[in-house]
Structures are given as C-alpha cells and as structure tokens.
Structure 1
Amino acid sequence: MLTAIMVALLAWPGGDAHAMGTPEDQSEDIFTLGEVVVSGKLDAVEAAQTVHVITAEEIRKAGSRTLDEALNLLSDVGVQVGNEGVPRVDIRGFRTRHVLLLLDGVPMNSSFDQQFDPSTIPVENIAKIKVTAGASSVLYGQGGLGGVINIITKKGKEGVSGMTSFESGDGQPYLAKGSVSGGRGMFDFFASGSVFHRDHFPLARSFSASPEEAAGYRKNSDNTRDNAFFNVGFTPNSDLTIALTGSWVQGGYGKPASAINNKFDPYAPPARFGRVDWYEGYTLQLAADYAISPALTVRSSIFYNQIDQDNNQYDDDNYGEISTGRPDAQQPWLIDPTNPNVPNSFKLRNRGITRGISLQPKYDLGHSGTVTLGLSAEWDSWDGRGLVKPGGQGGNGGGSQGGYGVGGGSPPYLLNPVHDSADVYLYSAALEYSVLPTARSGFTAGYAHHWQQQGGSVSQLASQNDLAARPAQQAQALLDDYSVSVSSYYDATQSTRLKAAFMRNIRFPSLSQLYLRDTDNPNLRQEVVYHYQLGMEQKLPGESQFSFEGFRSDLHNVIVIDQNVVPARNENFSLYRFTGFETSLESRLLPKLALRGSYTFNRSQDLSGVGRDEVQYVPRDKAVFTGKYDFDSGLTPFVSLVYVANSYVYSKQQIATVTKAKLADYAVVSVKLTQKLYKDKLQIYVGADNLFNVEYEQSYGVPRPGRLIYGGFEYRFGS
C-alpha cells in the first residue's frame, strides 16, 4: 500500500567535478534518495555542465562549520555579508534568490523572497555538496537561474557508529556537535545535532573606531543556533527504498549596523538597528525509489518546510524594547521608550511555509538512451504581522522571511498594527532525453514548462498618522513560461574532454516582490536567462587535472526597485550580462599532498540605466588556493587563500547622479592543523581564520571579521 501511495505522488528533480582529495573513510554512507537524479545517463548530463563536488573530507580538513564556509572555497561562488548580517551565496554574479538550494531534495529557499541563510545549515550531516554553475538540468524546475546547490546527507551503514566534537574560539564560546548512525537488515538510520553560540566576532586590529563602531569586537554580532537532523531508511527488497528525513533549527542573531552613519556619504546605507531574536524552522520529507521493471523506475517525494522568525528594528543601537508608541490610558505617568521622531522601527512575526509533491519516472531505452519525466507541484505561503512605525524611507523586515515598508509622512511616528498574508502555487512538467551516441560522447536535451498561480494577498493596516489602510489585493494572475536545455561532451582523447551547454531558464517573481508593502507590484513578469558555455577538461601526469570553461549569461527582465517612480516599487526593466571564464588546476604529485587552485574572471554589466557599468557587489576576479599534506605521524596542515578584486558599489538611490566607487581588494589566508591520535579515532586541531588579520569588507561600510583563533577535538567511535 505504501509503495502504491508513493508512486502516485508528484518527485523533486535532482559528473563529477574537480574535488580535492579522496572520499572520506567514514562510518556513514551517502543518502542516495537525497541526490537529485537529473537523468539515467549521468555522463551525458552533468559531464557537459559545470559541476563542483565538495566532499565530507574536504569540509573536515578545511574546518568549515556551516554551508557558507564550505562554499566560499569555490572561485565561481561568492559568499557576501551585508547589512542584514546574513551570508548571501552568489554564483557567477547571480544573487541568492537566483540560486536553487536543495537539502536532500527539499527546497530550502524562503517561500517569501526565495533567498536562504546558509549559516543555519551545519556540515556534520553532509556527505557531499554538488554545485552546478550556470546551465543545469530542466528537471530542477524554475528558479535556479544562476545555478543549483544540491546537499546530499549521510545515512547509516551496518552496525552502530558515531562522532562527538567540541570547538571554542575568540568570541565563540562553543560549537558542540555529534552524530550516531547504524543499520541492520532492512533498516538504517542517521541522526546528528549541534549547538553553537557566539558572543561577537573580532574586528581586524587595523580597524579604526568610529562613533558607530568601536574597535575590538563587532557590535550586535552575537549568534546562537541549535540544529538537529535525522533520516530513517527502509529497504524491504532490491526494488524499493523508502526514507523519512527531517531537520530542525532554532536560534537568533544580531544584525551589525553599518560602521558609517553619514548622510553626506553617497555610498553609505542608512543606519538600521535590527535583530532576529528568535527563529525556528523544520523540514520533513517522505521519499521513495521504486523499480517497477528493469527499465522503468519511479522516484517520488512529498515534503513540508516551515520557518517562523521574529524581525525587529529599533530606534537606535541600544536595541531597547519597542512599545506601542502611545500613552497608557490606565498609567499615563509611564514614560514610553519609543522615540516618535525616529521612523521605520518595527516588531514583526513572520511565517513562511513551502509544501510540495513530485514524481519522476525514468525509462531506460538501452543503447537508445534514457527518458526522464519530471512532475512537481509546490504551494508557497507567507504570513506577517506585528507593529510598524511609518515614515522616512520605509521599513523593511529583511532577512529571508520578510518585513514591511510603509514610508512617507512626518513625525510623530507611532507603531501601528499590520497583517499581511499571501500565497503562490508553482507547477512544472519536464521531459529530458539523454543518450551516449558513442563510447566517447554524450548528448542531453530537455524541455520543461512552468506555471505560477498567484493567490493574492490579504492586507490589514490601521489608519494612523500618515498610514492609510491598504486595500486587500486578490490578484489571480497565472504566469507560464518554459525552460530548455541542451548539452553535450566529446572525449577527443582518453585525457581530453570537450563540452558545451546551452540553457534558457526562468524564475517567477517572489511573494516579497509581488506583495511586500510598499514596493509591491502584482503585475511583475518572470525573469529569463540565457546561458552559453564552452569548456574542456585535461588530465595531466601525476594525478593532476586542468579545466577551463568560458561562459556568457544574459539575464532579462531583472526585477529591481525602480527609484524613478513614487513610491519606488519593483519593476522588470534591467538587463544583466555576465561574461567570463573559470579555470582550475588540481594536483596530487605526491600521494599525501593535495593542491588545488582556481580562478574566475567575471565581467558583469548592468545595462539598466545611465551611469551603471558593473553590477554592484559582483567581483570581477576571485582566486582560491587550497592545499594539504598528510604526514605519516598523523599531522595534516591545511591552508586556504581567497583573493577577491574589482568589486564596485553605486551611490545611494536617493542621489540624482549615479556614481560608483571601488571596494578595496583583499586576500584572506586561513590555516588549520589537525593531529590524529588513538588509531585515528581522535583528532585534535587548532586553526586561524583570516590569519594575517586583514581588514576587509564585502559591502560598503560593513567590516568583516578579523583573525579568529580556535581549537577543538573530534572523536569517532563504533564500527
């Protein structure tokens, strides 16, 4: 009965790249149901695309704690932190909302603004991370204009084993984590958990104190996070696998304000004093893989993803309690702490929910190739309510769960109740054909059609001060468009592979772009991208490999806030173009030595208006070097260098004449020393992030951490 139910559901879709090192000798296996299968002939699909694989071993050697730290060691991936205090992951210049993130097939992008916070995803349960840059499979669905990040987690093997670890560092009292896994007969399980607390992070010694930011430690940079994850698998026979997976996260963090609060600085953002004092989220997925016959298999899944989050913005950096802003009728002598002359403060509770079902039948035609059908349906909803002070430039709850903007007017600014909710429904149908015409070549072609049904929004806002109640919107627009992908490769020799890929893909507007006051625009259209890629891979002596790939991506109908209308609101009017290349060299000249260097050149063009050249905050150059050596004594030093150059910022949107400024180039070196003990079951380590205490910023006026020294241990037990 369960098999029949799972087959009737609608499967979430899902080449090895040049990963440094060998697979980790671990007690856990790979959770195969979590890997999005893009076709039956793997070499004909991902072999022609740009796919990077980060293994669990690489993550451990580098000392990465969360997803963003692991991704930062890819040259075509940018991890940047701005005023919101949340790491944002860009791929080849495409913003986070253009990147599709999957955790065991469950989309982790916010239902509200389609962004995600990679720092809430710990690494202790990750078996590997697959990053597809640019063109990808149509089976992934709409939304991944810049690329796809597919996280595949661990699963248990026969017997029982586990791990426990503890780490502490400057300003970070503790990171404790552990896992246990096992299997017997038809059942297997894996469970992990972690707790993290940071009081603040250190600034570089060269940072000059200002009225907004003292030297030493960054204000309002505390962070607390608790995580739990599990999967349980059931394999009654070789034809059927069923698994239940789930994750939970809870925490809170401060949003460090800009270190520059100068209204005469044309590039400095306005000072905002925000916090996310609490958030909680969880995911659940039931998935199955069933071989109906030797040629026909069906993968299916059903999932639920929810996150609740409090977004607060305060009058000043005291981060005090926000009251109603009105005298207490019963106790009029009480002093109200809210400053009525400061606009845009708010206290909001937001909830985002994503639900979906999918079905993916795959038929193997033998020498004639493989045909895969992908069907999916998704329902995204958002609900936000709380108190908002209007005025000034408008407020924004920010983060990945939303806020409000209700600008205009003059003081006094009093808190007023607000409540918004909105829904959208997404459907996709895809067909992909993959074939190996010869032993040395592969070809893939796919087509998908996508629909977005906009459920509209319900808005309530008490009329007070300069706020007028916004009428409820009940737009029922239906958008539809298509994706197409073609890719191929040819092995010119046993050591040389040539590859090419083209893709047209789309992304529908998010709930925030459609309905977030007061930049909302329910008449937005979908964004469209065209990817063109040519590349080669060359095996070299000494277990070395070189790769080179050129790319061009044209992003049409980019949704941005148009400042030329009053009030400013989201519009489809920009055209972005990214042209460049990426190259990498990986070498194992010695069995115990692993070196890898990569470089990405990305010329970005913002063709949306006068005075704009490069796309803001898209570095033209990024180079990454990593290296490690495994000594016979069990000592392993690891070093990484990340160099970023030629990133630009434009003047504030209120400035009539647009000007630009160049951010300082920077190079950050990090090291980690690991010593194995007790038959390799125990590892102790020390490390330093930003070893040379470099002062740098990725967003104007937002300094990043200086040198962080840390140490810890990891102990593994069992079979």
Structure 2
Amino acid sequence: MKKYLLSLFLFFIFCPFSNAADNRLPNVVVTATRTAQTVNESLASVTVITRKDIERSQAFTLPDILRTVPGLDISVSGGLGKNASVYMRGTESSHVLVLLDGVKMGSATVGRVAFQHLPLSHVERIEVVRGPRSSLYGSEAIGGVIQIFTRKGKKGGHTDASVGAGEDNTYQFTAGVSGATKANWFSLQTDLLRTDGFNHCQGSTSGGCFTIEPDDDGYDNTSLSIRYGQRIARDLSIEGHAMRAKSHSQYDSSLSNEEDSIQQVFGLKTDYVLSDRWLVNLSAGRSYDETNNSGNNMSETFFNTERTVGSFVNNFFLAKNKTFTLGYDYQKDDVESSTVYVKESTPINSIDNQGLFVEYQTQLGNTQWIVGLRKDDNEQFSKHTTGNVAFGYALSPSTRFVTSYGTAFKAPAFNELYFPNYGNPNLDPEESESIEVGLTGKQSFYHWAINAYRTKIDKLIATNFDKTTNTYFADNLNAAKIKGMDISLNWHRGGWEFNSNVSWLKPKDNTTGNLLPRRAKTTVNVELAEKRGPARLSLNFLAQSHRYDDAANTQRLGGYGILNANFEQNLNKHWKFRIHLENLLDKEYYTAAFYNTQKRFWFVSLHYQY
C-alpha cells in the first residue's frame, strides 16, 4: 500500500497537466517563525484552516476539525463537551502548545488544554505547525503548535447569524457583527450550543468511568469574543481581544458527575515600525482555565489556573531575505484549588518562567536557512536550552526539499510536582529531539507534501511505585521513539475539490517496546466535494487502524471507518441552508476504552450574512 501511494504522488508531481491559473492567494502564517511568511516560504510542516474551511466542515468544536489535519490523532471520551486529547505526531496531548491570538492557553494543574470547550464560530483562522518549536515558544511545543486566531473585522460592515437543530436535541445559535475602516477594525461574536447528548460511558465497575449510569450526558456552552484594533499612526497599531467560553457538562463517574468550566483569554498587543529595518511587537495577556466538579452528593472540588504572559519581540530586516529576531517571553502560572499544593511543608501556588530567544532566517539562491536558539529560566527546575536548524532547497520552481532538526521540552505540571501523595518536586522536564525530511510541491491547481520524521523523548513522566512506603508517585521513568510519515494531496479545479492525507505512525515505548496508548498507526482522510451553482456537496471519509487503550497493549480498540456528508445551498446572496450528516453508516467505534462515540447524527441550520 505504501509503494502504491508513493507512486501515485510521484505521478502527480511530474504528470503533464495543463497550467490552468490558480487565483487563490497564498496563506500567510506567523506561528512557525513568529514572523509573517507564506505557507510556501515556510520550512515547517504547516496546515492553515481558514474561516471558509471551518464553515464548510460544519464542525462544532476544535477537535472536530483538527481530526482532518495530517499527523494529528484525536481521542474522545464521549460526545460534545467530553474530554478530548489531541496527539500531534504521536506525542502526548500535553506536548502540544496552544495559543489564542498569541496568548498561551492551558491548565497548569493537568498541563494541557481543554480542546472540547473551544467554539469554532469565533475562529477566523487556525495555524497548525507540526514539529518541535520550543526554540521559539519554550515548554510544551514538543509535538508542535496550534494557534487560533479569533474573528477580525474586514472592510465595511458585516453581520452574520445562524440557528440550527439536530439529533440528541442539539441546538446552536450564533450571531456576530464586525467591520473595519482604514484606521480601525472590530469584531463581536456570540455562540450558544446545547445538547442532551448520549450515554458517554458504557458502564463498568472495572474500567472507564467505574460506574453504571445509563443516562444521557448533556452539554451546553455559551461563549463571547470581542476584538478591536486601531492604527494610531502610520507606523503604530494597537489591538485588544477577549474570549470567554462557559460550559456545563454531565458525565458518568463513581465520584462527581457534573463539571462547570470557564475558558477565558484577554490580550493586548502593539506593532511599532521603528524604521525600515526594525519592527517591534509587544504583547501581554492572561488566560484562565477554571473547572468545578460536583454531583453524586460529593463535595465540590475546583481547580483554577490563571496564566499571565508577556512578550517583547524585535525583528531586524538586515537585508533582502535576511531577518534576525530577538525576543523575550515571560510566563507566570497561578493556581487556586480545593486541593492544597505543598512544597517542603510550605504551600505553593505559583511558578514563573522567563525565556530569551534568537532566530536568523536567510535565503541564498535556491537555498533557505533558519537557525534558532532559546534559553528558559524556570523557577522550579532552573535553566533549559533548546534549539533548531532548518534547511530548504528549491529543486524546481514548484518543488522543494526541506529538512530540519530541533530540540524541545515540557515542564512538569503542578499535579506532577505537588499533588498530595503523588507529586514529585524533583522531576526534570521531559526532553525531546526530532529530525524531519520532506518534499513539497505546488502545481497550477494542486499541491502535495511528503514528510518523514523521527522523535526521541526522554524523561517522560509516569507513575512509579515505592515498595518501602507502599505509595505511587510521579517520576521521570520512560522514554519513547516515534517514527512517522505524512502524505497530503489537495486538488482544486473548476467546481471540484479533492483533499486527502495519509499518516503512518510508530510511537514506541522504549522501556517495554509497546505502542503508546490511544494512537492509531495508520490514519486516512479523504474529502471529495463539488460546487454546482449555488449548491455544494461534500463527502468525508476518515479511517483509522487499531490502537491500544493501555500502556501494556492488552486492551485493543479495533480500527474503523466513518463517512460524513455536508450539503450547502445558497438561497440568495444573504441566506444559506446547510445539512450536516455524521457517521452515515452508523459505525460503532471507540478511541478510548468504555467511552461511546457519536452514532449517526444529523444537524440542519440556516445562516444569514449581510
């Protein structure tokens, strides 16, 4: 199968198609280097999800649309609003750095982001950068970076609204207003999503939720975002943004079985052009991750994280195609919890980190180079240095060879350091080194990419057992080697679209030789769509091989394939009608043992734009 697919891609590279013009503008990304460049210029493996992509997917949440990105695997524990883990290139879910308009998100206690609570109606664009980026961002960017950009006002005025209903008494209402002039821009969006859901856990006293509660587990999410910017002078602009998502989720558990959550981000940034060769970016922000668990007559528990960040970045344009970046990052995590965290008999509720980084980009003829270095100074584990180097060579005007090497790290989370009777304050950061080789090509109406990579992760944090005290504790026990390959092909011509990607993965635990849990070895995504007049119809097929739910590889979850369909009809220039059909064949499958996934699902919606 691998040889057949490689032959197919080589055919697309060299076959003599006609040179029909491609009028689509190239996407500009900033996440890969913290400077603006097109996707074609980037030496990183980048996927850009535009607002149009989001609307056509008819997805509700971030994990819904990320599952179609090459190199990403999503594991869900139930339906809407239930826990979702995003594994990028086989690394842990906590090894993915998530930014919202440049502000770092995540829970300091568990060390990862609640992807399931982030609504897509507020999103203008998503940039997914695969591969290590600690040399630019510090902790967490072992697998890569996902940056979410909220809606931004465009020239003139714009109003939009939608209402929809579907299976499981699912309802959604969205509304927004935005606009821009030469001097300022603004956007205001709101979203209300509600569902009765389904029984998210099969019910067992030996695994999963460790209880039997055969009821529907509902979910609701109310969110609001605002973004306002102003060009104060020709060389100076300032922008503020805020997003808040408040949700309530029911789940099955022998302990608490209801969760109230708040995901909230505030930010302020400014761009100042000091000269033709010097651009300054200054930003500050704060993100909140708050959870409150209750129900089953249990005492309420809460874990609230407040993350304060600031950045000062200088870009020096030394000459044509030569850029030097010098930057400073600050981060402080504060924790307020019903659990008391203690370090050496003294309560502790905060950790700060400072990072200094440099990067140099240059282009010489057909070659392109990027070199970066960063040093982080963490209050808990002192200093840590990471770096990266990337090289690109244009084999032809449409084909390029790229290779890169990078190191990264993940700082231990609060729970791993200080949770009572488990935390270990002597933990070291998890460390990684990765190498990648790839080929990319862009023809008149299609583009393709082949990327192979290998990642080695040391000092992985796992649970250890002390026979002397008969207790479990966190320790730097494990190591992993991950090998993989991503192949993607996207073809657009006339009213037809064909988007596809295939990912092969071997995430191996060095200690046991087993596969890392909840990651499929093979993933195939295929979309075929046709736009005819005012109507568009698309079919989406997702297939994954088997995976294991446990580190011992004794609990096997079978492979599966699901078929989805989307239909869109423009009623006139202001109104659209959409139908979303998920899991058309009513396939029963699992990405986490004991946890049900969505069966056949339908949703219809009416959309207004002016």
Please indicate, yes or no, whether the TM-score normalized by the shorter chain is above 0.5: yes
Q: Which residues of 2 match residues 282-681 of structure 1 at below 5 A?
A: 282-312=264-294, 319-322=295-298, 346-367=299-320, 369-385=322-338, 422-438=349-365, 440-454=366-380, 478-540=381-443, 543-563=445-465, 565=467, 566-588=470-492, 590-609=493-512, 612-632=513-533, 634-650=534-550, 658=552, 660-679=554-573, 681=574
Q: CA deviation at 1:247?
A: 1.0
Q: Judging changes above 3 Å, is the alpha-carbon distance between structure 1 residues 713 and 273 closer, same or farther for their aligned structure 2 residues?
A: farther
Query: How many angstroms does 1:208 deviate by?
Result: 9.0
2-structure distance, mates of 1:23, 1:352? 42
Structure 2 SS opposite 1:630: strand
Structure 2 match to 1:191: 188
Pick from 50, 63, 67 the counterpart of residue 72 of structure 1: 67
- CA distance 1:702–1:173, change in 2 (3 Å): closer
- The secondary structure found in structure 2 opposite 1:660 is coil
Could you report, residue by residue, the CA deviation over 1:326-371 in whole angstroms, capped at 9, with x for unpaired residues?
xxxxxxxxxxxxxxxxxxxx52122110001110011000137110
Give RMSD over aligned pairs. Answer: 2.7
CA distance in 2, matches of 1:128, 1:52: 11
**Secondary structure of the corresponding residue to residue 334 of structure 2:** strand
One-letter code aligned to 2:312: L
Tell me which residue corresponds to 2:144.
147
What is the CA-CA distance between 1:275 and the residue it aligns to?
2.9
- Runs of 4+ that moved beyond 4 A: 21-24, 34-37, 43-46, 207-213
Does the residue aligned with 1:48 lie in a helix, a strand or coil? Answer: coil
Secondary structure in 1 aligned to 2:90? coil
State which structure, 1 or 2, has the greater radius of gyration over its C-alpha atoms.
1
Q: 1:3 matched to which residue of 2?
A: none
- Partner of residue 18, structure 2: none
Counterpart-to-counterpart distance in 1, 2:536 and 2:497:
11
Give the Cα separation in 2 of the matches to 1:45 and 1:497: 9
What corresponds to 1:702 in structure 2?
595
Aligned residues of 1:528 and 1:557 also touching (Cα < 8 A): yes
Quick check: 1:164–1:177 contact (8 Å CA) kept in 2? yes
Cα pair distance change 1:256/1:74, threshold 3 Å: farther
State whether structure 2 residue 123 is matched by structure 1 residue 126.
yes
- 2:447 maps to a residue whose letter is Q
> C-alpha distance in 2, partners of 1:698/1:22?
40
Separation of aligned partners in 1, 2:226 and 2:250: 29
Secondary structure, in 3 states, of the residue corresponding to 1:513? helix
Which of 35-44 and 120-129 deviates more? 35-44
Quote the Cα distance in structure 1 between the aligned partners of 2:375 and 2:566.
47
8 Å Cα contact 2:497-2:528 kept in structure 1 = yes
CA contact (8 A) 2:341 2:348 kept: no
CA distance in 2, matches of 1:44, 1:365: 22
CA-to-aligned-CA distance 1:233-281 (integer Å, 9 cap, x gap): 0102221110010111111102245xxxxxxxxxxxxxx4443432234
Q: Any idea what SS the aligned residue of 2:64 has?
A: helix
What is the rounded CA distance, in whole Å, between the counterparts of 2:495 and 2:222 in structure 1?
36
| Match of residue 11 from structure 2 | none
Secondary structure at the counterpart of residue 122 of structure 1 = coil
Which secondary structure state, in structure 2, belongs to the residue aligned with residue 546 of structure 1? strand
Deviations 1:642-698 (A, max 9, x none): 1111311337xxxxxx5623211011111111101112x211111211111110111
User: How many residue pairs were aligned?
Assistant: 576
Distance verdict in 2 for CA 1:22–1:110, change over 3 Å: farther
Which consecutive residues of structure 2, in runs of 5 or more, have no partner in the other structure?
1-21
Give yes or no for contact 2:243–2:264 (8 Å, CA) kept in 1. Answer: yes
2:220 counterpart residue number: 224
Return the offset for 1:380: 0.2
Secondary structure of 2:379's match?
Answer: strand
SS of alignment partner, residue 396 of structure 2: coil
Cα distance in 2 between the residues matched to 1:562 and 1:451: 27
Give me the TM-score of the superposition, normalised by structure 2. Answer: 0.89
SS in structure 2 of the partner of residue 711 of structure 1: strand
Distance (Å, rounded) in 2 between the aligned partners of 1:201 and 1:497: 48
Shift in Å at residue 82 of structure 1?
A: 3.2
Say whether the 8 Å CA contact 1:99–1:149 is kept in structure 2. yes
Q: 1:222 to 1:556 in 2, by over 3 A?
A: same
Q: Give the letter for the 1:715 counterpart.
A: Y
Q: CA deviation at 1:703?
A: 1.6
Residues in 1 aligned to 2:401 and 2:439: alpha-carbon distance in whole angstroms = 4
Indicate the larger mover: 133-142 or 178-187: 133-142
Task: Give the drift of 1:449.
Answer: 0.4
* 1:172-187 correspondence to structure 2 within 5 Å: 172-187=169-184
TM-score normalised by structure 1 residue count: 0.76
Which structure's residues are more often strand, by fraction? 2
Alpha-carbon spacing, 1:650–1:41, altered in 2? closer, same or farther (3 Å): closer
Contact 1:41–1:369 (CA under 8 A) maintained in structure 2: no
Structure 1 residues 678 and 45, CA gap change in structure 2 (3 angstroms): closer
Q: Deviations over 1:302-324 (max 9, x none)?
A: 11112332123xxxxxx5323xx
Q: Secondary structure at the match of 1:115?
A: coil
AA partner of residue 107 (structure 1): K
Contact kept in structure 2, 1:180 and 1:190, CA below 8 Å: yes
Secondary structure of residue in 1 paired with 2:297: coil
In structure 2, the residue matched to 1:115 is: 112
* Cα offset, 1:592, TM superposition: 0.8
* 23 and 515 in structure 1: CA distance in 2 versus 1, 3 angstrom threshold: farther
Partner AA of 1:553 in structure 2:
T
What 5-or-longer segments of structure 1 have no aligned partner? 1-20, 25-29, 258-271, 313-318, 323-345, 387-402, 406-418, 455-477, 652-657
